[in-house]
Amino acid sequence: MTIRYPNGKPFIATPTSSKQVKNSFSNRGQSLEDDLNETNAFYLAHQQAVVHKKPVPIQIVNVEYPHRSAAVIREAYFRTPSTTDYNGVWQGHYIDFEAKETKNKTSFPLQNIHEHQMSHMAAVQNQGGCAFFIIRFTNLARDYFVPYSAIAPWWAGMKKGERKSIPLSFFETQICISNKYAPRIDYLQALRTFVNRTESEENNI
Amino acid sequence: MTIRYPNGKPFIATPTSSKQVKNSFSNRGQSLEDDLNETNAFYLAHQQAVVHKKPVPIQIVNVEYPHRSAAVIREAYFRTPSTTDYNGVWQGHYIDFEAKETKNKTSFPLQNIHEHQMSHMAAVQNQGGCAFFIIRFTNLARDYFVPYSAIAPWWAGMKKGERKSIPLSFFETQICISNKYAPRIDYLQALRTFVNRTESEENNI
């Protein structure tokens, strides 16, 4: 049974269908969320970073206490999150990101991103944190690392009535995350590449 | 109705009783959690930090979709968290803390702290993050800022069979957080004091 937000959208990354699995070379049928959970567990075990997925916020209304058993929540509602799904620390840096999947092959629809995620990431960047997206093109078997600052102009454009999706050609200018056995999605390597690029650009000014 | 973890402990900071409210000059009857939520909202609005409380982790088993209404969770269970309750970013620093209240007047019982919180904070410190506790002595109307590194020796002592609580005299050597109208609990000021002290100690070596 799919669990949904009040607005009807699933709150868990959609599992890949059997058809997608056949077409995918990288994710072996796992959702991006599963891959990231494994990756974060790997980073934690190897003392490379401390990153966790935030639980889904729930408004609890009624709880039962059956005799000698665990408490059972009998009435609760999904609340709208006010942050992104993942955050943590890597070598002293605060990192904060959102993971998105699309089945599209030619562009990424901006409707996958929510207003609260953009405003949270803007605040994080303003405080000197690293805010970014991990975007999976499921049917292309590619995962991209895209800094918040690169998504922001497309988001602003959409709000002014410009295009509602970001073309694949844009992602091809971004960092493609290599898929490995362990860690599954080495986004820290992509982050390191991004940080080094940014620093060398700053030195060239 | 109090909501409890499977082990019977309440998962929300215990609200202060009417007796405590009379004795308290600082918190005006609000729980530490309420005060921290207000403080974090103040920091966010004033662009001083981006810190959020993590939702309680829940295992959802069954959800109903009443016609034209929001989805209702009908069966769910509390899960044990693997991190602390609060984290975020302040001037590029990753910050991570746990808030604790005690009604004791002479010591802080270490049983208020859980193993997963200590191991998470050790990992955070190891990655260069700022890990600390905010400890409220409800009946003394005092809130202390205590770095993880100062609690760790007491915790290690307890595990070796030494004392199970930290005496108030120890807290009196730590930073007392000033209580104000806004922000309610200015823990960033305490963190700044701590960071400055640590840096000047390092310079004196």
What pLDDT was estimated at residue B21?
A: 39
* DSSP classification of residue B44: H
What count of CB pairs under 8 Å joins A to B? 131
Which of helix, strand or coil describes residue A117? helix
Predicted confidence band of residue B198 (pLDDT cuts 50, 70, 90): confident
Write the ipTM.
0.83
- A205 Cβ neighbours under 8 A, 6+ residues apart: none
Q: Is B85 annotated as a binding residue?
A: yes
Is CATH 3.20.20.70 the right assignment for the domain spanning A18-204?
Answer: no
Residues B92-111: what's their mean pLDDT? 97
Q: What is the maximal distance between C-alpha atoms in chain B? A: 69
For residue B50, give Cα distances in angstroms to A22, A127, B86, B96: 42, 7, 10, 11
Contact at CB, A71 and B44, closer than 8 angstroms: no
What pLDDT was estimated at residue B66?
A: 87
| A71: closest chain B residue by CA | B6
What pLDDT was estimated at residue A200?
A: 83
Q: Provide, as residue numbers in chain B, all residues whose Cβ is less than 8 Å from the Cβ of A131.
A: none
Q: Provide, as residue numbers in chain B, all residues whose Cβ is less than 8 Å from the Cβ of A94.
A: 88-89, 92-94, 129
* Strands B93-102 and B130-137, sheet pairing: parallel
Q: Is the pLDDT of residue A57 over 50?
A: yes
Is CATH 3.40.1350.10 the right assignment for the domain spanning B18-56+82-204?
Answer: yes
Residues A15-27: what's their mean pLDDT? 41
CB B134 within 8 A of CB B32: yes
Contact at CB, B71 and A120, closer than 8 angstroms: no
Nearest chain B CA: its distance from A47 CA (Å): 7
How far apart CA B96 and CA B117 sit, in angstroms, is 10
Q: What is the pLDDT of residues B18-32, one digit of tens each?
A: 444 344 444 456 899
H helices of chain A, in order, are: 18-23, 32-45, 115-126, 148-159, 168-171, 187-204
Q: Is B199 annotated as a binding residue?
A: no
Q: How large a percentage of chain A has pLDDT more than 90?
A: 75
Contact at CB, B127 and A62, closer than 8 angstroms: no
What pLDDT was estimated at residue B2?
A: 54
